[in-house]
Structure 1
Amino acid sequence: MMELVSMIIPVYGVEAYLGKCLETVLNQTYENLEIILIDDESPDYCPEICDQHAQKDARIKVIHQKNGGAANARNHGLDMATGEYICFIDSDDKIENNYVEKLLNAIKESQSDIAVCSFKQWYKNKTQDSTGFKNKEYSSKDYIRKFLSDWTCGLIWNKMFDKKTLEGVRFEEGHKIDDEFFTYQAILKAEKVVVFDESLYWYRMRKSGVMLSGTQYQAQMLKDRLEYMTKRYEMVIEKYPDLKAEYLYNLTDNLISYTRQAQGIKELEKDVRAIKKQYWNRIMFGLIPVKIKYSFFRSFFDKTKEELNVDEGENHYFE
């Protein structure tokens, strides 16, 4: 019996790309699909495009909802999904016609809970392959460790999830970056992850829509990263206490970096300082190289350097 695969696709403001995206989804070599389109009150022609495709293919289910953001749309898709396996596709991207087949075969052949493929990034006529992907099977613990040095671990659209790993896991709404923390939770519930170096997903780089950046957007991104950084630290060390030193090192390194990024944004400076105070003892007395502790110590007092008339000199950690 062919397992049902649910493909969850939030839709908003992508009328120029949605048709191509759906074409690649409908042309999959693996055909037992449940394609869930969540129209997040898109202001363009996307709602009509969704309905037109649903009329032509019974595998497509369309939800028209009040605008709630991508996380809210994906959560509605998860609530509706009935497949044994779940994939997430961005509605302005495209996939190879064997995307589902390859990911599902990888899960079944390796008896894994999550499969991960490599991908291509493209902008107009320029294409770049992702790097760092190797054919390898990971335990949940080893993949959680890989998160520390590989940002692609947090992506959701180059992965297939056994639905069991997503029980009780949902995207946190109201945040700019919700996919990474979602993936963290799924990995922690999994036992095994399989990765293979075959680019099956095409990620479109855009300079419009939700990809727009600005001071306010970047500030919210940093605020989200601060929140998720501490959440993931507490979650990981609860399940894998022996990873505490590595994750504390990572947390400290990020706090030093975020101190600089938050300069001039009062609310963020306050947030960073609060987290530094919260983790002060664990960092200063933890198994972290002295050089990093020293950088953290000096960054802690950046805010008061003018009042204390202290000459900070150079921080060689950033050279």
Structure 2
Amino acid sequence: MRTVTDSHPPMAFTRSMLKQFGLAILEIPISWLISIVRMVFCRLSEVQAYSVARFLFTPLLSFRNGTLLRNMKKVLMPNGWTEEQVKKLVSKHNRYFCSIVVELARLPLLSNEELQARIIVKGEEHLRAAFHQGKGVLLIGTHVGNWWYTRSIISVLGYRVSNISNKVPIRSVESHLNRTRKRFHITTCYVGHGGRKAAAEALRRNEIVSLFFDVAVSGRKQYSRWLPFGPVALQVDLGPAMLALEHRVPVIWYNIHKTRGTDYDLTFEPIDIHLTEQDTEQLTRSWMDRLVKELLHSPEQWWQWGNVELREIEHIQTMPELIS
């Protein structure tokens, strides 16, 4: 039996075009609204901006509470959490979401001294020692805490920073991120636009290359794997591990989490990659263990709770298509 797509390819193409056209139309007013909200956040005091953010975003965030609750229960309840505790965590996560949005909106306005006053940096000697080897440094982290604070403070401390990231489809958001990059002298290359080559060149220039692994990147299915994530499985990107093993440069893990108010703790820790290690999946699995440890410490601060799909861990062995 032929499918509708087989028999009417123009119809399928038309539906696809209409969907893209509709999203393009929606992007314009959404982009304008985000620009207005950002300007409001920058004009108010930080406390006032946070209050406005909670007023604006709490009703919108409620639409994803079901996903948050489902994912949090899968990861945390096997670790001793009760359902009531997880429900409270959903609200706590949404409050943190509002705070980090305000922090990102106001970040380019902070002076170097103001940013340094917010962040207690631990283990910079490891970053400095890796940098002084002259081979470049891979900085591996996750979407726990305010990762933009990490990149920015590293630049403020005098290091050259590059990052490989996805381009945000909302124009005003990407423009704001570009302003932040310019403010803190952060070089960026986008995934799918020569990111791997750009990372290699940045390492040759002895720069610090900042990368995430805790999300599968669209268009990179061949570099993604479903790996154990505590009691479940999460699809992640093997690209950072591939770069680490290919270039054999120093690798530094960072962990940043909010402690109180606007204050953060940022810790750098060296990762020992043995020269005999050739398995990118095994290396990424070791990083997954670190991610789980971070989540159990600051579960409300993982940005990805509402953006990922979690699957039963036994599917990794029983369903080959999940690891293709």
TM (normalized to structure 2)?
0.29
By percentage of residues, which structure has more helix?
2
